[in-house]
Amino acid sequence: MLSSDEKRQLNQFSENVLGAVFYYTTFRDGSEKIEFINTHCAEIWGIEISELAGSPQLIWAMVHKDDINAVRASVQTAAETLSCWEQRWRSVGDNGKTKWLCQP
């Protein structure tokens, strides 16, 4: 869980990044939580930050059906190995528009 100081530092950092910055946690029981999300996420996914932060499933639901297994596997591998997450995938918005996203 992020402290208020860590959230403040992430907020300061993310203001200078032209992309999505979020702190996503998966738990052993399979539950998940977004503890921090910057304003650019709303621009990328087209959903209000308050909605995204409260429901990681909204982001998962937008992953292209042909990419979902690879994205889930890459997140799982990063969690198990405590390594940086790297993945490219397509995100499909409510308007049907597809965007390529990348986590280097």
pLDDT for 9-59, tens place per residue?
887 887 878 888 888 888 889 889 888 888 888 888 888 888 888 889 999
- Domain locations in the chain? 4-103
Across 1-104, the runs of DSSP E, i.e. the strands, are: 22-26, 32-37, 87-92, 98-103
First vs last C-alpha separation in the chain: 24
The correct CATH number of 4-103 out of 3.30.450.20, 3.40.50.1000, 3.40.50.150, 3.40.50.1820 is 3.30.450.20
State the chain's mean pLDDT as an integer. Answer: 89
Predicted pLDDT at 3? 87
Predicted pLDDT at 70? 97
What's the whole-model pTM score?
0.81
